């Protein structure tokens, strides 16, 4: 049987994976489908909020976008 602490860590990992993979997917999507003159980051954050509704805070989305772009997971 899995310990409660291990289950909690797995849940956190799943949320992190969902978060990062969604940002990555939407970044690629918005690079390909440019339907607006808005900056790429702004379009990605808007689409993220549309897809995930209120599941994640906008400030967190923006900070995460900047962080994963800085480490090279998002290419402009």
pLDDT of residue 71: 93
Q: What is the pTM of this model?
A: 0.83
Helices (H), the chain: 4-32, 40-52, 58-70
pLDDT of residue 76: 67
Q: How far apart are CA 25 and CA 2, in angstroms?
A: 32
Q: How far apart are CA 21 and CA 54, in angstroms?
A: 17
Q: Which residue has the tokens 């940002």?
A: 23
pLDDT of residue 65: 94
Collect the ranges in the chain with pLDDT lower than 50.
none
Question: Between the CA of residue 47 and those of 10, 13, 18, 27, 44, what are the distances in Å?
Answer: 26, 22, 15, 9, 5
pLDDT, mean over the chain: 91
Domain ranges of the chain: 4-70
């Amino acid at each position: 049987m899995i310990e409660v602490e291990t289950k909690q860590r797995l849940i956190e990992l799943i949320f992190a994976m969902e978060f990062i993979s969604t940002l990555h997917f939407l970044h690629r999507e918005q690079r390909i489908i440019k339907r607006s003159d808005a900056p790429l980051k702004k379009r990605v954050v808007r689409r993220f909020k549309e897809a995930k509704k209120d599941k994640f805070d906008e400030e967190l989305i923006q900070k995460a976008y900047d962080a994963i772009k800085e480490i090279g997971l998002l290419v402009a």
